[in-house]
Amino acid sequence: MPPSLFNFRKFLQNANQNTLLLPWKTAIMDIRPEAAGRLYCFIIQHFFREIKETSDKERNFSDKQSGAPIMSFCSFSKEFNENAFTTVENQFVTKYMPDADGFAVKVYLYGLYLCQNSDSDFNVFSLAEVLKTTKEKIEEAFEFWEDYDLVEILSRDPFAVSYLPVRSAVGRPKKVRYEQYADFNKELQRKMQQVGKFVSYNDSIKYMHFLDENDIQPQAFLLIAEYCINKQGESVSPSYIFNKAKKFIRNGWITYEQVERELSNYNAHEGDLIAVFNALSIFKKPDESDYALYEKWTESYGFKRAAILEAAKHLKRGNAESLDLLLSELAEKGKTAQDDVGNYLSQRDLLASLTFRIGRKLGVKVSNPAPYIDEYTEKWYNCGYEESSLSDIALFCLRTDRNSFDGMHELVKQLFSAGVVSKDSVSEYLGVKNGELKLFTRIQGFCGSLKKSAANLSLIETWHSWNFSDEMILEAAKRSAGSGNPIPYMNKILSDWKHTGVMAPGNIPERASVTKPSYVNPAVEAVNAKADRERYYALLRERAQSVADKYVAKANSNSRFKEISTELSRMEIALAKAEVFEPEKLPKLKEKQSELTAERADILKSMGIPESRLTPQYKCKKCSDTGFLPSGAACDCYKSDAAQTVSAQGTRETAG
């Protein structure tokens, strides 16, 4: 008799003595939860398994000799597999099944069937669909069997399980004295039924094991469970309750009195958090993380309820995390009282508005004002500078090529060191500096497009300190016009005049009136030609800006026009915020903006000022008096004698 056939017959004899054979589908699908603890005997054995273990030599000898393609000598048809059997060891039935409910047994058996009838497309979701349950319930059942060392969970995502031999299983959950927790189970079941939940047998085992393994009173645990049920409703899960209980245990709150005290604090803060959520336009119940944040705000930071509400009202919209960032900033600044919070946030809004205005004056685009406020605006404001003074300083910085927050900061530091802080002192200082700037523009008319750097502008103050008038400085500029580097040449001329006592134009020696050297290097001549072109456009732009400034000053003489301009400027921030956080307010804000714009236009019309005059009107519309087209090419609006013509006109206009 062949060895494989002999082994198979011997196996059948042993199987009939020790097991009951049932078709696998009939056996598994007949198991119900109420059948927990009954004795089920299943043996499902694939009899060709013994044949599969026959040696390779016995199976494949003919294929290797013939050279034919290798294929299975015998295989199962689909119909045969449907009528096959799956094996369940007797030890599982006698030792482990009595402690499990019907659902856990059902999951174990179906998994055992899948081990012996592998299907690569079958996964935990497929099993949940077959057993008409959820993925989580399937995973809980396998976790139950893992405690017994009957399976090993290899992976959570994707979920994978390895079945272990029953005879070698040594793990067995600690035996729970169920009678000890009879009252606990009844009370927990009653609380769960209030929200339409039912504590399953598996969950009941989990709760009792948790109490056995952790030092917490059952009544204290019931308080925690009741709190979680009230918070989560019908979606409450054992894991949520366990996590909450573990937090209490870590903090040492394990008695009924301790848990009751802490939960009363939670309940007391619920109304406070709901009020905060209403201020933030949040429509949900506070959860665990929200209570943790509130505890942080009140206990760690020291905020009172009123101060937290003040900050929330300022945000208007957002979430607990954005409020936490704001309160952290306030705590860092030491602003924890309600009045301090309100004043600080109002000032922060004012500084944000001021930062946007200064940015526009400097030609700097400000997207987020916070870093500019911390680094610059707040420091200037704390030094005592008024908003109007800072705006004037920013405009002066733009005209003197210091058009950055860093450049303005250096000037403000100089002013503060010199004691120039009040509005009048700043106006006086800027008046002098603007006069020097006009003189420098006239010097540019003779010497080319000199850079309006702080170093060059400071020389005018130095020359004035030498007691030279503007006329004498311009005379020196005329005599330096042919130089490739006129500033040092002017310094030399004025220094010589100071040394010889020449302080008036009439006292200038005739030999010093030479305006141009007899020979000019071609390279210098090319540089001067470029300088003439740049000076031409610089004068045109300066003139356009000067005209616009005059019209703006005239319009601002009307107090209502000035109020409207200020209000429209503030509305830019409000519109930007509304677009992001409160889009429902946009129509109303835009309507108000349109009304103010129309009123502003009426005021300008009554004053005879065209709206276009408030912005620079450049001579060349193609290049806006820059000399270059948008493509980068040079504009053809420059004429060879244009620089001289504009210089002469600029000199006459300035003198006039």
DSSP helix/strand/coil, 573:
helix
Q: Poorest-confidence range of 224-238, 263-277, 557-571? A: 263-277
Average pLDDT over residues 439-464: 81
Q: Within its chain, how far is the Cα of 497 from the centroid?
A: 64
Q: Is residue 118 a part of any domain in this protein?
A: yes
Return the pLDDT at 312: 86
Higher pLDDT, 172 or 552: 552
Average pLDDT over residues 507-519: 55
Q: Within its chain, how far is the Cα of 50 from the centroid?
A: 63
- Residues with Cβ within 8 Å of 542's Cβ and at least 6 positions away in sequence, in order, are 441
User: Is the per-residue pLDDT at 56 higher than 80?
Assistant: no
Q: Do 318 and 354 share a structural domain?
A: no
Q: How far apart are CA 621 and CA 635, in angstroms?
A: 11
Q: Is residue 173 a part of any domain in this protein?
A: no
Average pLDDT over residues 307-313: 86
CB crowding 483-515: b at 16 or more within 10 Å, else e: beebbebbeebbeebeeeebeeeeebeeeeeee
389 class by beta-carbon count within 10 Å (0-12 exposed, 13-18 middle, 19+ buried): buried
State the distance between the two ends of the chain, measured CA to CA, in whole angstroms: 132
Average pLDDT over residues 54-76: 45
- Number of independent structural domains in the chain: 5
Q: Is residue 216 a part of any domain in this protein?
A: yes
User: Which of these three, 254, 276, 308, is where a domain ends?
Assistant: 254
Q: Do 150 and 192 share a structural domain?
A: no
Q: Do 645 and 570 share a structural domain?
A: yes
User: Which of these three, 293, 311, 336, is where a domain ends?
Assistant: 336
Q: Could you tell me the pLDDT band of residue 70, with boundaries at 50, 70 and 90?
A: very low
Higher pLDDT, 547 or 647: 547
Return the pLDDT at 448: 72
Q: What pairing do the DSSP bridges indicate for beta strands 151-156 and 159-163?
A: antiparallel
Mean pLDDT, the chain, rounded, equals 77
Give ∠ CA 482-487-493 in degrees, rounded to 5: 80
User: Is the per-residue pLDDT at 655 higher than 50?
Assistant: no
User: Which of these three, 133, 168, 203, is where a domain ends?
Assistant: 168
**With the C-alpha atoms ordered 470, 476, 480, 485, is the resulting torsion angle positive or negative?**
negative
Residue position matching structure tokens 């003189």? 439
Q: Do 329 and 197 share a structural domain?
A: no
Q: Do 193 and 144 share a structural domain?
A: no
User: Is the per-residue pLDDT at 248 higher than 70?
Assistant: yes
DSSP helix/strand/coil, 161:
strand
Q: Is residue 588 a part of any domain in this protein?
A: yes
Q: What is the pLDDT of residues 338-384, one digit of tens each?
A: 888 888 888 888 888 889 988 888 888 888 888 898 899 989 988 99
Q: Do 158 and 16 share a structural domain?
A: yes
User: Is the per-residue pLDDT at 48 higher than 60?
Assistant: no
Q: Poorest-confidence range of 138-152, 257-271, 597-611? A: 257-271
Q: Poorest-confidence range of 88-97, 272-281, 310-319, 517-526? A: 517-526
User: Is the per-residue pLDDT at 652 higher than 60?
Assistant: no
Q: How far apart are CA 423 and CA 410, in angstroms?
A: 19
DSSP assignment, residue 504? Answer: S
Q: Comparing C-alpha atoms, which of 289, 266, 270 is closest to residue 278? A: 270
Q: Comparing C-alpha atoms, which of 451, 426, 427 is closest to residue 440? A: 451
Share of residues in the chain with pLDDT > 70 (%)? 77
Contact 533, 634 (CB under 8 A): no
User: Is the per-residue pLDDT at 656 higher than 60?
Assistant: no
Q: Is residue 581 a part of any domain in this protein?
A: yes
Q: Do 268 and 320 share a structural domain?
A: yes
Q: How far apart are CA 96 and CA 188, in angstroms?
A: 26
Higher pLDDT, 637 or 19: 637
Residue position matching structure tokens 């610089």? 538
Q: How far apart are CA 422 and CA 113, in angstroms?
A: 89
Q: Is residue 111 a part of any domain in this protein?
A: yes
Q: Comparing C-alpha atoms, which of 545, 597, 547 is closest to residue 569? A: 597
CB crowding 400-422: b at 16 or more within 10 Å, else e: bebbebebbbebbeebeeeebbe
Q: How far apart are CA 158 and CA 535, in angstroms?
A: 73
Higher pLDDT, 236 or 510: 236
| Bond from prior residue into 286 cis (ω within 30 degrees of 0) | no
Contact 144, 238 (CB under 8 A): no
The DSSP element (H or E) to which 221 belongs, if any, is: helix 218-232
CA contacts within 13 A on the Cβ side of 362:
22
Q: Comparing C-alpha atoms, which of 286, 269, 346 is closest to residue 320? A: 286
Q: How far apart are CA 497 and CA 475, in angstroms?
A: 11
Residue position matching structure tokens 């954005």? 322
User: Is-above-0.75 flag for pTM?
Assistant: no
Q: Do 486 and 446 share a structural domain?
A: yes
Q: Within its chain, how far is the Cα of 633 from the centroid?
A: 42
Q: Do 490 and 366 share a structural domain?
A: yes
526 class by beta-carbon count within 10 Å (0-12 exposed, 13-18 middle, 19+ buried): exposed
Q: Could you tell me the pLDDT band of residue 145, with boundaries at 50, 70 and 90?
A: confident
Return the pLDDT at 279: 81
Q: How far apart are CA 241 and CA 249, in angstroms?
A: 12
Q: Is residue 531 a part of any domain in this protein?
A: no
- Quick one: CA torsion of 535, 539, 542, 544, rounded to 10 degrees? -140
Neighbour count for residue 303 (Cβ, 10 Å): 24
The strand ranges marked E within 239-332 are: none
Return the pLDDT at 313: 84
DSSP assignment, residue 628? Answer: B
Q: How far apart are CA 413 and CA 404, in angstroms?
A: 14
Which of the residue ranges 8-12, 35-39, 462-466 has the most confident prediction, judged by mean pLDDT?
Answer: 462-466
Q: How far apart are CA 220 and CA 211, in angstroms?
A: 10
Q: Do 548 and 433 share a structural domain?
A: no
Q: How far apart are CA 484 and CA 462, in angstroms?
A: 22
What is the C-alpha R_g of the chain? Answer: 45
Q: Is residue 296 a part of any domain in this protein?
A: yes
Q: What is the pLDDT of residues 412-424, one digit of tens each?
A: 998 999 899 998 9
Q: Do 305 and 392 share a structural domain?
A: no
Query: What range defines the domain where residue 444 resides?
Result: 345-502
Q: Could you tell me the pLDDT band of residue 522, with boundaries at 50, 70 and 90?
A: low
Higher pLDDT, 60 or 223: 223
Q: Comparing C-alpha atoms, which of 564, 561, 540 is closest to residue 552? A: 561
Q: Do 297 and 423 share a structural domain?
A: no
Average pLDDT over residues 121-133: 89
